[in-house]
């Protein structure tokens, strides 16, 4: 599959009074034409910053990106686009849908008017598309996203729509320019479970019908399970595991992915005591030197805190960044454990020797004091 979007070693940081916030650290990923890829991870791991960087939505001067070549879209490096080029890119090449549909809609404008604006904006080069034709397209788009009675609904305002319907309207506006890539950043978080599934199904149907790639962002692995073909797991600004859906769900390799899956499964099977990954994600102001997950990882070895783990390919298309996943893992891990135990033994022996030496010195001092006392008594 030809890559539509390529991200190569992208890092994004925000300078601030408290120092440099390293929101995204050296990530690489690809999204193929028409492919559905899920980007998953806990709050603050860098998902939205990645999406905003792809869309050129980060405010000027507020961030630092490591390389102008870090984002390639359709073979073109896009990061240094002018404002005009970004305007042409957004909507036509790639579009984004955010979590809260109300924030994307103008409450004072009819739904149809807002979608018509998106259509005419992206088709400026086609003067034959008059207002009437644009309105016909609005009705078609509203029908495409599953809104019944589209002609009537187009004349209504956002407050007359339910949450799910508003998200459908926002999706209609996003696909108005026929983009090759749609990024959906937590598109279902504010919706109930039934509506969540309907919106995901809609996104996937639109993707197939329009041969559009979909980058689906979520903090919940369960949400993306049915929709995505590939899953990329982020933690602490880094990609820690990526693979086909089956790889991630049936053979997860990274302890963080395993934790996410366990937490999701328990949530779904209604367990009383929910599993949580203890601790908090690292602060982007002081990311750990070694593995970002080391402070919370039950498998952590001493090397994990010192050196970032390399990316290991487990099978074609499935890779994880974890010392535990090295190809010679059982031996390597065993050796590492032995070394650790050895170091602990040495430290313990050293401590015992030091205590013994202290006791010996104390005994010598005691004997000396007794001798001096005896001498004094004899005099």
Ligand X SMILES: Nc1ncnc2c1ncn2[C@@H]1O[C@H](COP(=O)(O)OP(=O)(O)OP(=O)(O)O)[C@@H](O)[C@H]1O
Using CB under 6 A, count the residues that bind ligand X: 15
Residue number, 43 or 316, with CB nearest to ligand X: 43
Residue number, 27 or 206, with CB nearest to ligand SF4: 27
Structure-token match 């440099």, residue found: 20
- Decide: is 300 part of the binding site for ligand SF4 (CB under 6 A): yes
Tokens read off for 164: 């799910």
- Decide: is 235 part of the binding site for ligand SF4 (CB under 6 A): no
What whole-number distance in Å separates Cα of residue 122 and Cα of residue 100?
A: 23
- Decide: is 297 part of the binding site for ligand SF4 (CB under 6 A): yes
- Please provide the distance, in angstroms rounded to a whole number, between the alpha carbons at the two ends of the chain: 102
Cα 376 to chain centroid distance, Å, stands at 79
- Decide: is 253 part of the binding site for ligand SF4 (CB under 6 A): no
The three-point CA angle 31-254-262 to 5° equals: 100
**Smallest distance from the beta carbon of 44 to Mg ion, in angstroms?**
8
- Decide: is 294 part of the binding site for ligand SF4 (CB under 6 A): yes
Q: Are 312 and 326 in contact (CB under 8 A)?
A: yes
| CB crowding 224-256: b at 16 or more within 10 Å, else e | bbebbbbbbbbbbbbbbbbbbbebbbeebbbbb
- Decide: is 14 part of the binding site for ligand X (CB under 6 A): yes
- Decide: is 323 part of the binding site for ligand SF4 (CB under 6 A): yes
Binding range to ligand SF4, per CB under 6 A, among 24-32, 70-78, 245-253, 320-328: 320-328
- What's the Cα-to-Cα distance from 310 to each of 114, 307, 324, rounded to whole Å? 48, 9, 10
- Decide: is 233 part of the binding site for ligand SF4 (CB under 6 A): no
Q: Which does 98 bind (CB under 5 to 8 A by kind): ligand X, Mg ion, ligand SF4, none?
A: none
Residue 130 carries which DSSP code?
A: -
Q: Considering only residues 58-97, where is the footprint of ligand X by CB under 6 A?
A: 62
Q: Are 188 and 8 in contact (CB under 8 A)?
A: no
Q: Which does 212 bind (CB under 5 to 8 A by kind): ligand X, ligand SF4, Mg ion, none?
A: none
Nearest to 13 by CA among 239, 290, 284, 238: 284
Residue number, 113 or 288, with CB nearest to ligand SF4: 288
| CB crowding 202-213: b at 16 or more within 10 Å, else e | bbbebbeebebb
Out of 118, 293, 312, 319, the residue judged to bind ligand SF4 by CB under 6 A? 293
Out of 34, 44, 282, 308, the residue judged to bind ligand X by CB under 6 A? 44
- Name the site residues for ligand SF4 (rule: CB under 6 A): 254-255, 291, 293-294, 297, 299-301, 304, 309, 322-324
- Name the site residues for ligand X (rule: CB under 6 A): 14, 16, 21, 23, 41, 43-49, 62, 219, 284
């Amino acid at each position: 599959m030809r890559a539509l979007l390529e991200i190569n070693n992208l890092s994004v940081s925000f300078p601030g009074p408290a120092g440099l916030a390293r929101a995204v650290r050296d990530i690489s990923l690809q999204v193929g034409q028409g492919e559905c890829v899920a980007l998953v991870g806990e709050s603050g791991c860098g998902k939205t910053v990645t999406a905003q960087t792809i869309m050129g939505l980060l405010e000027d001067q507020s961030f630092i990106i490591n390389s102008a070549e870090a984002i390639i879209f359709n073979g073109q490096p896009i990061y240094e686009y002018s404002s005009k080029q970004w305007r042409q890119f957004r909507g036509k090449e790639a579009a984004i849908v955010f979590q809260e549909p109300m924030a994307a809609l103008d409450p004072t404008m009819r739904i149809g008017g807002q979608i018509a604006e998106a259509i005419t904006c992206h088709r400026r080069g086609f003067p034959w598309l008059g207002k009437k034709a644009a309105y016909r397209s609005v009705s078609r788009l509203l029908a495409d996203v599953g809104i019944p009675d589209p002609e009537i609904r187009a004349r209504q305002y956002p407050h007359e729509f339910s949450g799910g319907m508003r998200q459908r309207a926002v999706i209609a506006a996003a696909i108005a320019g026929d983009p090759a890539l749609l990024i959906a950043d937590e598109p279902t978080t504010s919706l109930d479970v039934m509506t969540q599934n309907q919106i995901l199904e809609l996104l996937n149907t639109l993707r197939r019908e329009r041969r559009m790639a979909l980058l689906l962002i979520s903090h919940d692995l369960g949400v993306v399970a049915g929709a995505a073909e590939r899953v990329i797991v982020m933690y602490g600004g880094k990609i820690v595991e990526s693979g086909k859906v089956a790889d991630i769900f049936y053979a997860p390799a990274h302890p963080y992915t395993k934790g996410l899956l366990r937490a999701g499964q328990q949530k779904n099977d209604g367990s009383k005591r929910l599993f949580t990954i203890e601790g908090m994600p690292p602060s982007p102001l002081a990311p750990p030197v070694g593995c970002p997950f080391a402070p919370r990882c039950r498998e952590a070895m001493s090397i994990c805190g010192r050196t970032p783990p390399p990316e290991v390919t487990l099978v074609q298309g499935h890779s994880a960044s974890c010392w535990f996943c090295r190809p010679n893992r059982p031996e390597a891990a065993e050796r590492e454990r032995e070394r650790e135990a050895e170091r602990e033994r040495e430290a313990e022996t050293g401590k015992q020797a030091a205590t013994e030496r202290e006791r010996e010195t104390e005994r010598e001092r005691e004997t000396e004091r007794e001798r001096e006392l005896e001498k004094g008594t004899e005099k």
